[in-house]
A and B are shown apart, each in its own frame.
Chain A
């Protein structure tokens, strides 16, 4: 998403006929202003750790016939996580507490946030044609629940998390 922003700016400066040297300087200043905080390094580390932990689970890892996990399922969940982190940071300059990335039922992947202010669980099914299954609340009357296609999920979750940053 940050790459997209940079390419839009580059194109805009080109159309405004800004000289190349000046254009490069402006782009450099723009990139510096977007310098990613340490949070994104921590997010990447958490994502990599979850890859090792979840994808190494063998068939019947729980002794009760559990399935192993497909890399594609894991990728859909962590790609979404990166996108929502970037969106929130670009929109608000804020970061959220890292969720847990966990092996869900039947080969699905869970993203789970739990804090004193709210709890949010997003389940990404193994079958990519199935919608995600979401439940979140603030332990009181504010509730988010339902199934969402991944395309609409980003806006829904970003809006929800903004309330608790």
Chain B
């Protein structure tokens, strides 16, 4: 029997104590730093008006990595939802992706706010940490 696509996943509020996972393309990391413990602010950017992440209620770091277009070229970082919300004017909104069937999908709005883009990205880099660090010597 064919698997049915759910009609929708219910709207949910994400509590502050939960975490988000986000993939990081290796082209944003300078190779000499190889698997850096620090996370550069440059990785935080919007696509079509929001920064895409995955809610840890419905995903593991490995799940999030597999949803990247090319998993071998990415690593995964994690951020606490409450910490994100404490950076004005960022908003965290649960937004399951019905087309790609990613129940965990969550949008962070406001990352490229005019006049605050650099401030927001520096502050996000300070609250983020690696879950699956990208290894530059990995062959792919």
- Show the binding face of A for B, using Cβ within 8 Å: 57, 61-66, 100, 102-106, 110, 112, 114, 119, 121-123, 133-135, 137, 145-147
Chain B positions within 8 Å of A100 at CB level: 30, 40
Beyond known contacts A64-B52, A110-B118, A133-B117: 11 more, CB 8 A cutoff: A63-B70, A66-B47, A103-B28, A105-B44, A105-B112, A106-B45, A119-B122, A121-B41, A121-B121, A135-B121, A146-B115
The 7 A-B residue pairs whose C-beta atoms are closest, nearest first, are A63-B69, A105-B45, A135-B118, A135-B119, A121-B118, A62-B25, A102-B42
Once bound together, how far apart are the Cα atoms of A140 and B73, in whole Å? Answer: 35
- The reply to whether A63 and B122 form a contact with Cβ atoms under 8 Å apart is no
- Show the binding face of B for A, using Cβ within 8 Å: 25, 27-28, 30, 38, 40-42, 44-48, 52, 68-70, 73, 111-112, 114-119, 121-122
- The reply to whether A63 and B118 form a contact with Cβ atoms under 8 Å apart is no
Chain B positions within 8 Å of A61 at CB level: 25, 27
- The reply to whether B38 and A114 form a contact with Cβ atoms under 8 Å apart is yes
Given contacts A100-B30, A100-B40, contact A63 B68 (CB under 8 A): yes
Chain A positions within 8 Å of B28 at CB level: 62, 102-103
Chain B positions within 8 Å of A66 at CB level: 45, 47
The residue among A102, A103, A133 with the most chain B CB atoms within 10 A of its own CB is A133
Chain B positions within 8 Å of A103 at CB level: 27-28, 42
Pick the contact of B40: A62, A112, A137 (CB < 8 A).
A112
Chain A positions within 8 Å of B112 at CB level: 105-106
Chain A positions within 8 Å of B116 at CB level: 133, 135, 145
